[in-house]
Amino acid sequence: MSPIPMAPFGRTGHTSTRTLFGAAALGSVTQQVADEALAVLIEYGVNHIDTAASYGDAELRIGPWMAEHRQRFFLATKTGERTYQAAHDQIRRSLERMRVDHVDLLQLHNLVDESEWETAMGEDGALKAAIEAREEGLTRFIGVTGHGVQAPVMHKRSLERFAFDSVLLPYNFVMMQNPAYAQAFEELVALCQARQVAVQTIKSLTRRPWPEGHAHHTTTWYEPFTEQADIDLAVHWVLGRPGVFLNTSSDVRLLPKILAAASRLSERPSDEVMRALVQRQQAEPLFT
């Protein structure tokens, strides 16, 4: 098994595996299943966990890991609250749930709605609580995340307002066939590179939204690629772009396949190869 490639996580001083563990996968599993996932992370040398207050029981499942493994991981969580007091309280509750005295990265979760953005970034908003948490040593760094086609545009606005240390947003081949999204994504990444802001990506395995009436066979909120060969292509396409990180999908059963793909990273698949994957799997954009 080859090690997963690593890269500086922006200007934080931490070198992270380019594949980060997306702990939404722990939202509805038992502690035993979570501990089995931890063993997989250790096997592949993954050293960065990304969770959120809203990911079900994920923070609770991570808590028992931290007594022995806190120093092994760069630990990130998120608050989805928009006002100061609610975010202030949720941040401290997250630390209690994970049994830690601080996280490495605290992120404002899915901040793309215009009115929510104004509240969170306002004088009595969640950003104030995040800055206060940093001043108190409850977090070392502050980031912002977003879903949907407006994410890169809103992240640029966020970076103009505050010096966030990281951003997170969707990135896959199908999504980047949307010219407006692709342009906004490229502009955001250029800005992040200039400022040494870490770029995390999500939704790498998206095949399409769940078809209506289709039985859901994974805990992802979209239908993912599940065959190893297809996962290899999707993962290699994302990681074939230097300087971005890939957050693993929100189904713990996909984790070994994603990490296996990342550990044998090869040349980035061509557009022709990716178009053939899209056609073969009838892939569609998750966000429009």
Query: In the prediction, which pLDDT does 266 show?
Result: 87
Q: Name residues whose C-beta falls within 8 Å of residue 37's C-beta, 6 or more positions apart in sequence.
A: 21, 25, 26, 29, 252, 255
The rounded distance, in Å, linking the Cα atoms of 277 and 89 is: 45
Query: In the prediction, which pLDDT does 200 show?
Result: 98
**CB 175: neighbour CB atoms within 10 A?**
21
Is 89 strand, coil or helix?
helix
Query: In the prediction, which pLDDT does 277 show?
Result: 95
| Spans of the chain below 50 pLDDT | none
Contact between 16 and 41 under an 8 Å Cβ cutoff? The reply is no
Query: In the prediction, which pLDDT does 210 show?
Result: 83
Structure token pair of residue 60:
């609770």
Is 54 strand, coil or helix?
coil
The rounded distance, in Å, linking the Cα atoms of 143 and 77 is: 10
pLDDT per residue as tens digits for the range 14-26: 999 999 999 999 9
How many Å is the Cα radius of gyration of the chain? 18
The rounded distance, in Å, linking the Cα atoms of 75 and 21 is: 10
Structure token pair of residue 210:
């769940």
Q: Name residues whose C-beta falls within 8 Å of residue 180's C-beta, 6 or more positions apart in sequence.
A: 149
The rounded distance, in Å, linking the Cα atoms of 167 and 141 is: 12
Query: In the prediction, which pLDDT does 286 show?
Result: 85
Query: In the prediction, which pLDDT does 225 show?
Result: 92
